[in-house]
Structures are given as structure tokens and as C-alpha cells.
Chains A and B, each alone.
Chain A
Amino acid sequence: MHPFILMALSLPSWQDEQAFLVTGLALGGVYALSGVGMIVLYRTTGVLNLSFGAVGAFGALIAWQLINHSGMNQWLAYLVCVLFSGVLTLAYGMVFGRALAGRDPLVKTTATLGLTLILLGVMDLLWTSNGGASRSITLPTDNHGFIVGQVQVTTTDVIALAVGVVITIVTTAFLRYSKLGTAMRAMANDREITATLGVPVRRVEAVAWFGCGIVSGIAGILLADLVALDATTLTFLVIFTLSAALIARLSSIVITFFAAIVIGVIDALLTPVTALTNYRDMTPFALAAIALLVLNRRRVLSVGRQGF
């Protein structure tokens, strides 16, 4: 029998897939939230922040440490995580972002890999998992939920999706209607001219870096709860977010949101498909590649030639 027929025959029913839809939407919501943060920073500074996941992971581990070893109230600890992520990202932006401001976007993006590797190393040193140690963050909202049909939905799942939606709407409105948002859009178009017009570009960049870090902290806490509190896992989840951003051609926040949701949902829906389950980690890569090829297929570029 043809392999595709075999695969089709072993597909789970829609009833079985419903539960996976819920988990996919929750994760997609967090990827969307992350994507928005990355897009805003990219559009303002030209930097695609590959350390987004690592910063969030670091913040989440700090929160874990404060809750489990210092006895801090967990909501306060989460606030510390979010603020730490904001400050760390801002610090990077103010030091290295400024120094690399005039460089090619690819150079600026690659530089954030350096921060990623440093953070990964420090996290491994501070929070080693030697001896089978495993850490976890459990949000209080995990213990509450409701059932839709036969599907259990936790409050955390709802919050993850809702935060993604809210951040997307708020950020879109902010960029369109606020003075600071307009300045950010102007800088995305042309930083030099924007500076010439008297916009305090460094201050605007600082806000973008800080905002990206705040979003990273929020995403870190949610992903630590939904996925795992593991430095490596959380750091490389940035791949899913990047894919969504690429599908949106690093410009549209709304498309980023929907792309992230689609990536999360497809990834989850493939889990019970035995023939494909081990390949579902390719989902973000495959979707991004398809999107880039399809969306750019009709682009006609005319390049003029200067006389000798």
C-alpha cells in the first residue's frame, strides 16, 4: 500500500486531536507574544534578538531560585524575573546595540548569539542538573481549569493564548497611535532621518530593548510552566518564534501572531500521528521556508546600473 495511504489511515480522529489543539494554541500564544517582542525590537533597532529565549530562561531560573531557596512570594519572584529580563536586555542594547548600530543587520543579529552562549554557560554553572536534579515552575493557574467536551483546559493555557492576543493588539495600537510608537516606526524606515528630525533615537531604542526584555521575561515564565524549566530547552524555543517572525517578513505584528499560532497548533496536532511525530520539530523550519519561497515568488527586482 502506498505510504501516503498508510499515513492517512493512521491519522487520529478529530475527537482525539481536539486536546492537542488546546495545547497547541497555548504554546502558539506564547510564541506569538515572543514574536511581537522580537519584531518591535527589530523594526526599531535592526537587531533580531536571538538571545530572547536565553534571557527568559535566565529570568525564570532566578524566579525558581527565589521561590524555592529564598522563600519569596511567587508573584514577586515572577515580577523579579520579568524586570531582570528587561534590565538585562536593555543593558545589552545600550552597550552592544549602540556599538554595532552602524553595522549590517546580520552582524547585529549574530552578535546576540554571543549573549545567548554566555547566558547558557552561566545558567549551566549556576543551576547544574548534576545528579538528576530537575526544576520546575508551577503557576497557581495550573490547578484551575475547565472541561470543553472531553478536553481539559487549564487556566494557564487560556492565559498563554490571551496574553499573546492582548500583547499583539496593544502593541499594534501602540505603534499606530502613540508618539513613541510612531517614532519607532519612523526609525524602522530610516534611523538617520528620524534622528535628524529631532526624535531622541537612543531613548526610543532603549524603550524597545527594555520592552523586548520584559516580553522575554513573561514568555520565559509561561514557557517554563508549559514546557520545562530547562536552560537549553527554553533557549532554543526561540526557533519557533523566529520562524513566525520570518513568515511575517520581520515586519507585520499581526502576521507574526497568526503564524505563531499556526506553528504551535501544527506542531501539537502532529504529536499523535505516529508516522510524523518524530519530525514535528521541523515544523517551524518547514513553514518558514515555505512561506519565504511562496511570499517572495512574484517579487520582481529591477536594479539600475550606474554608468562607468
Chain B
Amino acid sequence: MSIKHVVSRMRVGLALLSALALLALAGCGSSSSSSSSSAATSAAGGATSSSTAAAATGTGTSSSGGAVSVSSCGSKAGVAATGTPINIGTIDTHQPGTDFTDGPNMINAYFACVNANGGVNGHPLKLFVELDQSQPAQVAAAAKQLIQTDHVVAIDGVFDLLECTLDQSYWKQLGIYEMDAGIAPECWSTPNSAAVNMGPRYSSDGAVQYAINSVHASKIVFVQSNVPGTGYIAAGPAAVAAASHVPITELTENVPINDASSVALNLVDKAGPNGAVILNFTPPEALVILQAAQKLGLEDRVKSWGCSTPCDTDFLAKALGPKWNHKLFVNSELVDTDDHNGPEIQLYKAILTKYGSSVAGGIGSFSQMGFVLAKYLVQALDTAKGPYTMKTVNAAIVGIKSYHSVMQCEPWTYGKLALHIPNNTDYTVTPENGKMVTVQGCTKISAADPQIAQYRKAAAAAGIS
């Protein structure tokens, strides 16, 4: 072998080592992150888009149940709104590994329905959607764009990894009260944000609570993705377990998970036969762990398995199979639409069918949250006094009190509070032959979590609950 060859090989080797490191960084950058809403993987590419609520794209006009007409979303069936549009803005994460666009897409579908059936006092709703790839400067710029260029009067429908953290002082300055499906801690802990969901911390609380109170697990192993914010999330389950004098082990795993078999083994070993393993992952990651556990025959080596809300999808139930029937218990922030088929659920499905062709995930937590966010906004706008300005619209939003949706356990209130956790009562569902079914009805999240206790105290003092 010539010297030239040797040198060439060494150079290639060293350069490839650098390429390895770069590849590893790229791999980490594209990994999915844990969140309260199903953080799904999707195509790359960010874009900003301003979209008027789309015209009808479906084929039917009534719900699949036949009892509810889709036109009941608006105040004047069949009458298109033709007044000046009311501009609403939203900022949503859309990047490799995390795509929350189903949320705003469902809001657009709802708006399309309302616009085709009378609008809001004759005014159509126009949603301006800014998509971001979790670059702080980009998120901050998106907020400015919405206000200064698009002239939105409200922020509704934010599903974003960073937005609550970055924009909350800007919204405070402008007097904007955003409605969102929260992810970052600030979505619940600041005065200018209120979420329709519970988020990873409180949803994990619910899963741990069920394992302790209903399954009677004597040990908890709580595992989540190794991403920023894990300390904040883990503090909730730790407090709930401590209040019940149940030992808890808190673990994190890098995502994407490369060796699910080892992870599953580790979790089961640490939980023991009377313990419960609680997962806080997005469905793809939770699925690989659960399937690995099944392949190794581990699913019955612990008392139960639990998961926060992202696992509440029929995709997961179908993929897991019957061995997990009533073995995995998933905290569900919103009602299971398979178990309930009242007028509101029928309307939700009808809007999805007729106007929701861009809602890729179909029926699921994202579109449910989008539906609730749109519904509450429209209801609030109906109460706005005077012309639809930023001041009047946000006064109506912050004044939301006891709005009811069948999707949620309890009435939803905004209010002028230092923090907002208005959705703090939840369901528990479990897989049953390919679908998620309700196994426990509305249950309050434990006030052992100090933040829940703080919110309930503040809400009671304000006469909200």
C-alpha cells in the first residue's frame, strides 16, 4: 500500500469523523420533541401564509350521523358573510419531526363553515397563519408580521413549541389575550395566554394519578424525551406521586429512540412487578417502546402502562393490537369522539368532512383542539361590543366565562388571572380492539401539583370557579 494511499485513508477517516459528528447533529436537529399535543413528523419547509377560510371542499352538507346540519356552525344557514373580514392571527410550528398545522387547518375549516353561514354578524373570519421552525427570531418576527402587516385583531390557534415563551411580553404590551393549544410552560403561567389543552405536565399528572389511584401501582417510572423543559414537566408527576407516598423514578431518553428494546427493558426493570411505567412521548416514540415491550414479553411485567395525551390516537390503538387492551391507560385532555356522538361531535365531524380536506390527521386531538379554539373565538366575537378592533375583541376574549364544549370536561374560562390552567379535568382512555375507549370519566387533576393548586386558588378568588 503506497504512502499516498495511507495519507489519503487517514484524511478520509478524519474528515469522515467530522462528517459523523455533523450527521449526528443533523439527526438530533430533526428529532421529534415531546409535547402535550401530538407532535407529528412531517415534511420540511416553513412558509408563511395568509389564508382566508377556504370555500367548501367536501361533498356532503350534513354530518355523517344525519342529525346535525353542518350549517349549524353559523347564525344564518346558507348565507355567505360579505362584510369586512375580521383578521385573526396564529403562529404554529411546522418543521421536520414536528408539524402542528392540523390545528390551524381545523380552525380554517371552522371559519369556512361560519363564513358560509352568516359569518360573525355578517363579517367573515380570515385566519393569517405564520409557520415557524422554532427559530426564536423567526417566531418574534412572525408576531410583528401579524400585527403590523396583517393587522390581526386577535391571536387564536397557536400550536407552537416556543411562541408562548417568546411573545408573551409583546402580547401583554398590546393587550392581546391569546388562545392556544399550549406546549411551553408560559402558555399556562402567564396572564396573556390561556390553553384549551392541559399540556405535557398536567397530562402526565393525570396519567400518574390514574396509575396510583385506579391501578394502585406502588412505584412509578416516569420517562420523557430528553429536551429542554423536562424539569418543569417532571415536577408535576413528582408532586402527585409524593402526595400519595409513592416512589417515583424520573428518566429521560434521547429521541429518536434508537434502541427501544433496551429502553423498554430498563423501564420495566426499574418499575418492577407492582409498578407503573408512564410515558410522555409523541405517538411514534411511545409506539416503538410499547411494541418493543410486547416483543420481549414485557407488557405484563409491570402493573400497568400509562401515557400522556399524545398517545390518545386510534393510530396507536390499532398499531398496538389487542395485547394492550386495558393495559395502557392514556390521559385524554379532550373527549373521545368514538364514545360520544352528540350534536357537537357530529358538527365537528361534519365540518371536517366538508371543509377540512387539509386536516391530514382527520379526527384526533389536534383537530379537536382547533375546533374548540375556533368555537370559543366565534362565541366571544358574538359578544364583542362595537366595531371589531384589537381592544374590543380582546376584551371579549378575556371576558370568556364558562364557555361549554362537549370536547372538554368542564366549562372554560379565560379571565384576568396571573396564570391560566382552565382545562384541568380530564378523561382516561385505553386501547380496545383498535380504538381508544373511555375507561374513566371526567376527573380533576390533583392539586398536589402546586401549579394546579395555585390556579384553582386564583380562579376561586376571582369568582371563576
Contact = CB atoms under 8 A, between A and B. Distances in A.
A304 to B, nearest CB: 9
B260 A228 contact: yes
A130 B295 contact: no
Given A131-B366, A132-B313, A227 B43 contact: no
B258 A278 contact: no
Contact of B30 (A142, A232, A240, A288): A232
Given A132-B283, A232-B41, A27 B259 contact: yes
Interface in B1-30: 3, 6-17, 19-21, 23-24, 26-27, 30
B418 interface: no
Interface in A97-152: 105-106, 109-110, 120-121, 124-125, 128-136, 138, 142, 145, 152
Interface residues of B, number: 74
Interface stretch (B122-130, B356-364, B456-464): B356-364
A93 B450 CA distance: 60
B434 to A, nearest CB: 13
A31 to B, nearest CB: 11
B9 A128 contact: no
B284 A230 contact: yes
A152 B367 CA distance: 41
A238 B260 CA distance: 17
Contacts of A226: 261
Contacts of B96: 120, 124, 232
Given A124-B96, A131-B313, A232-B96, A302 B3 contact: yes
Contacts of B20: 239, 242-243, 246, 284-285, 288
Nearest to B318: A134
Contact of A132 (B8, B27, B270, B310): B310
A238 B20 CA distance: 9
A301 interface: yes
Interface of A: 12, 16, 19-20, 23-24, 26-27, 48, 50, 105-106, 109-110, 120-121, 124-125, 128-136, 138, 142, 145, 152, 154, 156, 226-228, 230-233, 235-240, 242-243, 246, 249-251, 267-268, 271-272, 274, 277-278, 281, 284-285, 288-289, 292, 296, 299, 301-303
11 contacts: A26-B261, A120-B44, A121-B44, A130-B41, A130-B101, A131-B40, A131-B364, A133-B40, A232-B30, A267-B259, A277-B251
Given A132-B282, A228-B288, A278-B254, 11 more contacts: A19-B296, A23-B261, A106-B16, A128-B99, A132-B40, A132-B365, A134-B315, A136-B287, A236-B26, A236-B30, A268-B262
